[in-house]
A and B are shown apart, each in its own frame.
Chain A
Amino acid sequence: MDPILLLGLVILGIVAGILGALLGVGGGIIFIPVLTIVYGLTAVSAAALSLVGIIAISSWGSAIYLNKGVPNIRIGLMLEIGGVAGAIIGAMIAVYLEDWILIAVFSAVMLFSAYRMIKNGGSDYTLENEDGEFEYNDLKCGESVCYDVEHKAGGTVGSIFAGMISSMTGVGGGVIKVPIMNIYMKMPIKAAAATSSYSLGITAFSGAVVYLIHGSIPLELAAFLIIGSVIGAEAGTRISARIDASSLKKYFSLLLIASAALMLLRAGGYI
């Protein structure tokens, strides 16, 4: 492959890593449109490569956030039982599906992501007393926050769907997991987002390993993407500590809508 295109993958990884940290996304909604439209990869190869990039961003970024004590590892492990099962099913189904079906599903995920970014916010379900089953350190106010988690079994079942979407489309699944944790399971939004960032990697792993065994991951491209993604994740966590990205989300959501439209047009053969 052209060295310029290979260098482009490093830059893609850096951009995805930075935006992922700023916007709270895994990177898949950035990887997939570029890999399919610019690099001309099939939906399956793009999904497989995207999962590799997501794992790189999630693993390196999580290593930094874990030390701040916000992710709920216990809930993450429980939910990922469903996530992993769903990802394995999704990866096995994806190789038999037509490209346009996968692209249509991915476009729907992008549009939903855009809607959630425009809507913004998220609910805080914190307890006034200190009797919650879980707690985390709120870095902004410097206090320990207690909370309980509801509907644990239902949340795990919902994670199966998130896992399937993740491996079929190459996204991390956070756009589905965060609402499940925040709205359905009543976790505070900061804990839900941090837990989702940590568990993205586990969901992506189970889909990616199936793709690797089936030979669907272009290795040379993956290597360049890994290098860029790790650099981006490191840079992103440093930048996100310094700036408020809430206005950036609204502009990024417009980009997501445009990308979804482009991908649908491409899937339909119009471009």
Chain B
Amino acid sequence: MNLLESIAKTLRLCVILSVVLAVIGLIAEHMGSSYGEVLTWLAVLILILSPFMGAIAATTSLAYQKDRKWAAFGAVLIIVSLMGMAIALIR
């Protein structure tokens, strides 16, 4: 599993999905659908999460390559990110 390729593909996929949902959400809102705002919120969420997904892809690829030291840094980053999201939710 190529490290850089896996991150690049993950980022592209998330951004494309976000843009598609954003466009559909805006059209739905314009047509008066109640789902429009939900889709737009989802689009923003997926885009915001794309770097986090890239970090997961990087950590997974490093672990697969048995690069334990740097995979551990990636794992710590993921844990710190999740803790931050949990704190934001609780507050």
Q: Which residues of A contact B (CB under 8 A)?
A: 52, 55-56, 58-60, 62-64, 66-67, 69, 71, 73-74, 77-78, 80-81, 84-85, 87-88, 91-92, 201-202, 204-206, 208-210, 212-214, 217, 219-220, 222-224, 226-227, 230
Inter-chain contact A219/B40, CB cutoff 8 Å: yes
In the bound complex, residues from chain B placing their C-beta under 8 Å from that of A202 are 51-52, 54-55, 77
Q: Does B1 belong to the interface (CB within 8 Å)?
A: no
The digit string for B69-80, where 1 denotes a CB below 8 A from any CB of A, is 010011011001
* Pairs of residues from A and B, 10 with the lowest C-beta to C-beta distance, nearest first: A201-B51, A88-B84, A223-B22, A66-B8, A210-B88, A74-B70, A63-B11, A205-B51, A202-B51, A63-B8
A263 and B32 CA atoms in complex are apart in Å by: 37
Inter-chain contact A223/B44, CB cutoff 8 Å: yes
Shortest Cβ distance from A65 into B: residue = B8
Question: What DSSP secondary structure best describes chain A's contact surface?
Answer: helix
A50 and B62 CA atoms in complex are apart in Å by: 31
A62 and B23 CA atoms in complex are apart in Å by: 23
Q: Which residues of B contact A (CB under 8 A)?
A: 3-5, 7-9, 11-12, 14-15, 18-19, 22-23, 25-26, 29, 37, 40-41, 43-45, 47-52, 54-55, 58-59, 62, 67, 70, 73-74, 76-77, 80-81, 84-85, 87-89, 91
Chain A nearest Cβ from B20, distance in angstroms: 10
Say yes or no: A220-B76 contact (C-beta < 8 A), given A59-B11, A226-B43. no
| 7 sampled A-B residue pairs with Cβ under 8 A | A60-B12, A62-B7, A63-B8, A78-B70, A202-B51, A213-B89, A226-B43
Inter-chain contact A66/B81, CB cutoff 8 Å: no
A223 and B3 CA atoms in complex are apart in Å by: 30
